[in-house]
Amino acid sequence: MTVIGWLQLVLFALILLACTKPLGAYMWRVAEGERTLLSPVLAPLERLIYKLCGVNPTEEMGWLEYAFAALAISAISALFTYLVLRLQGFLPLNPMGFSTANAPSWATNMTPDLAWNTAMSFTTNTNWQAYAGESTMSYLSQMLALAFHNWLSAATGIAAAFALIRGFARVTSKTLGNFWCDIVRITLYILLPLSLAGALALVCLGCPQNFDAYTSFVTVEGSKLMLPQGPVASQEIIKMLGTNGGGLFNANSAHPFENPSPLTNLIEMLAIFIIPAGLTYSFGKGVRDTRQGWALLITMYIFYFAGAGLLYVYESKGNPNITNQHVLTSIDAMGDLGGNMEGKEVRFGLAESAQFATITTDASCGAVNCTHDSLTPIGGLVPLVNMQLGELIFGGVGSGLYGMLVFAILTVFIAGLMVGRTPEYLGKKIEQKEVKLATLFILAAAFSVLCFTAVSCTLDLPVNAAINSPGAPCNNVNNAAAHGFSEMLYTFTSGTGNNGSAFAGINVNTPYYNILVGVAMFIGRFIMMIPVLAIAGALCQKKLVPASSGTFPTHGTMFIILLISVIIIVGALTFFPALTLGPIVEHFLMRGGRLF
């Protein structure tokens, strides 16, 4: 650990804080259809899209119609993606001939189960990749089938957050806005300008942007290698802004084309958090009390610093079974001596690797600049807990805010029970219906993660000799005992949390994992989004209750402490036994000299 390493965490937080208010205020103006600086340029295009699609922007929807629209466009786009992936060998922009007889020997085919998994992955904003992009996907598949979802799934999540904000803000209303208008405005006014600026910055800093065939060259040792390339910069920025995470290359943001330098690393980390952070201020603007948004943001910051700090500390300590004599001669890019440098890029070092791993799992992003499977047991515990808490520590674009608000509803309900008073949040009474829907939101994630992990542990799947080490269980994990269990737990946690990152020590490109993880991703996206929209629909119909001396303030220190406590208690009670069997017991075994 170094002072510079800690200063990086603080500097990032300050830059993010400076962006929160202006972006949040701007996004709420977009949500309300108000005029912005970009309106003279984009408003004619917006009106043209409405005209071509037959959308009436003044016609609003109830929560059921809003939810149906979100499900319908997701289902249609998932089918479209599946067909493109299965037919990519017959489509253009495929210079390497993937999925054809002319494909290179190292290329892999997109099987039906893998195409299902990939289509569901990108539709649900997960971007889980059970394949290597550079050896599986054509340029057309990357841009038309996959990057298309980076825009649509992100806009869908933000639209759901806008709908919930309107649920709190509106009084005795039956509508939450127009879904089609929301996704058009979000795409045009928020995602497009941020992506354009970010892509130009990444190109200037060394990210490629071309449609060339892969370059073949011979190394000094005489080996023949292929140098993959493609439209990297444009794909990279939207995968971060939309908290998607799926990259063109298997190494993801550890690849020098996707993430060439510490400066691009900073830009990409900011891109992951900037919209979720801004949405907290949008929430404050929407309910006409910005203190409410700041309270949520402070809660997110506390979890972020706790996770990043803990991960940095334990990665800096390294593995006690490996003597420092082997690593003291290696100084990473940030000046840290030793520590656990396995699976990390020396361009970034321990501090930026720990920070990136925390950020990508605080949000439902999943992009990685280091191998999470190589983290120390407690280091690996941090990303797991981040996702199991619901990825509401900033969270995905939209999903982070509405996940935090679900826990806020539970918090005021519990606070109301403690004082024997009907709970209220922002002048709306929290009644039986809202609490049941919030409970369904939480139980859906717990069911998916724990049940699917339990089933996978008990099944005797065929041994894959290429990846199973001696003594490892027959379930396609690369390690036995505690670490092997953590690999399976991480798989379904990441899928359900719509994160997409992986421990990578497990072969998930099998029909069993492709199908089941696809189901987990569907649950984590839509079975959790529908209760949120139902809550919004119930809240918007309520009348405002005047504040009184007994009203619990939801913008002060006490509320923040209670909110943090509820999040931790719900997460601990739900997932603590599983975490004990995985990273926690592995930590103590490591201290005793046992490695996996």
pLDDT in tens, 15-73: 999 999 999 999 999 999 999 999 999 999 999 999 999 999 999 999 999 999 999 99
DSSP result, 399-456? HHHHHHHHHHHHHHHHHHHHHTS--EETTEE--HHHHHHHHHHHHHHHIIIIIHHHHH
Give residue for tokens 């499900």: 71
Question: Residue 77 is encoded by which pair of tokens?
Answer: 């786009």
Residue 8 phi, psi dihedral angles, 5° rounding: -65, -40
Please state, for a pLDDT cut of 90, what percent of the chain lies above it. 50
Q: Is residue 151 a contact partner of residue 242, using CB atoms and an 8 Å limit? A: yes
Pairing of strands 215-218, 424-425: unpaired
Question: What is the amino acid identity at position 372?
Answer: H
Beta bridge partners of 337: 331
pLDDT computed for residue 177 by the predictor: 92
Classified as helix, coil or strand, 471 is: coil
Question: What is the amino acid identity at position 147?
Answer: A
d(CA 257, CA 131): 18
pLDDT computed for residue 307 by the predictor: 93
Task: Name the pLDDT band for 461 (thresholds 50, 70, 90).
Answer: low
Give the up-direction half-sphere exposure of residue 50: CA atoms within 13 A in the CB hemisphere: 20
Give residue for tokens 């601990």: 572
pLDDT digits (tens, 9 = 90+) for 321-371: 875 444 444 444 444 556 888 888 888 888 899 999 999 999 988 888 888
Higher pLDDT, 409 or 105: 409
Question: What is the amino acid identity at position 168?
Answer: F
d(CA 567, CA 400): 13
Residue 505 has pLDDT above 90, yes or no: no
pLDDT computed for residue 546 by the predictor: 83
d(CA 439, CA 543): 23
Classified as helix, coil or strand, 217 is: strand
Give residue for tokens 């396609």: 476
Whose CA is closest to 186, among 265, 278, 267, 248? 278
Task: Name the pLDDT band for 462 (thresholds 50, 70, 90).
Answer: low
Task: Name the pLDDT band for 469 (thresholds 50, 70, 90).
Answer: very low
* CA torsion through residues 456, 460, 461, 463, sign: positive
Question: Residue 576 is encoded by which pair of tokens?
Answer: 């603590």
pLDDT computed for residue 593 by the predictor: 79
Distance of CA 174 to the CA centre of its chain: 31
Residue 416 has pLDDT above 90, yes or no: no
Task: Name the pLDDT band for 246 (thresholds 50, 70, 90).
Answer: confident
Quick one: three-class SS letters along 225-292? EEECCCCHHHHHHHHHHCCCCCCCCCCHHHCCCCCCCHHHHHHHHHHHHHHHHHHHHHHHHHCCCHHH
pLDDT digits (tens, 9 = 90+) for 550-574: 778 888 899 999 999 999 988 778 8
pLDDT computed for residue 373 by the predictor: 87
Question: Residue 491 is encoded by which pair of tokens?
Answer: 């798989």
pLDDT computed for residue 471 by the predictor: 42
pLDDT computed for residue 219 by the predictor: 78
Question: Residue 276 is encoded by which pair of tokens?
Answer: 């979720």
d(CA 211, CA 233): 12
Q: If you average pLDDT over residues 198-224, what whole number do you get?
A: 85
Question: What is the amino acid identity at position 317?
Answer: K
Classified as helix, coil or strand, 562 is: helix
> For residue 449, what are the contacts with CB-CB under 8 A and spacing of at least 6?
388, 489, 492, 493, 496, 520, 575, 578
pLDDT computed for residue 334 by the predictor: 44
pLDDT computed for residue 66 by the predictor: 95
Instruction: Please report, to the nearest 10 degrees, the dihedral formed by the alpha carbons of residues 319, 323, 325, 328 taken in order.
Output: 10
Instruction: Please report, to the nearest 10 degrees, the dihedral formed by the alpha carbons of residues 148, 528, 360, 450 taken in order.
Output: -120
DSSP helix, strand, coil percent of the chain (3-state; round to 5): 60, 5, 35
Whose CA is closest to 490, among 357, 583, 584? 583
Please state, for a pLDDT cut of 70, what percent of the chain lies above it. 92
Q: Within 10 A of 547 (CB to CB), how many other CB atoms are there? A: 12
pLDDT computed for residue 253 by the predictor: 86
* CA torsion through residues 351, 368, 149, 168, sign: negative
b/e per residue, 344-374, with b = 16+ CB within 10 A? bbebbbbbbbbbbbbbbbbbbbbbbbbbbbb
Q: Within 10 A of 592 (CB to CB), how many other CB atoms are there? A: 9
Task: Look up residue 135 and give its DSSP letter.
Answer: G
Residue 371 phi, psi dihedral angles, 5° rounding: -85, 115
d(CA 230, CA 136): 13
pTM: 0.89
pLDDT computed for residue 478 by the predictor: 66
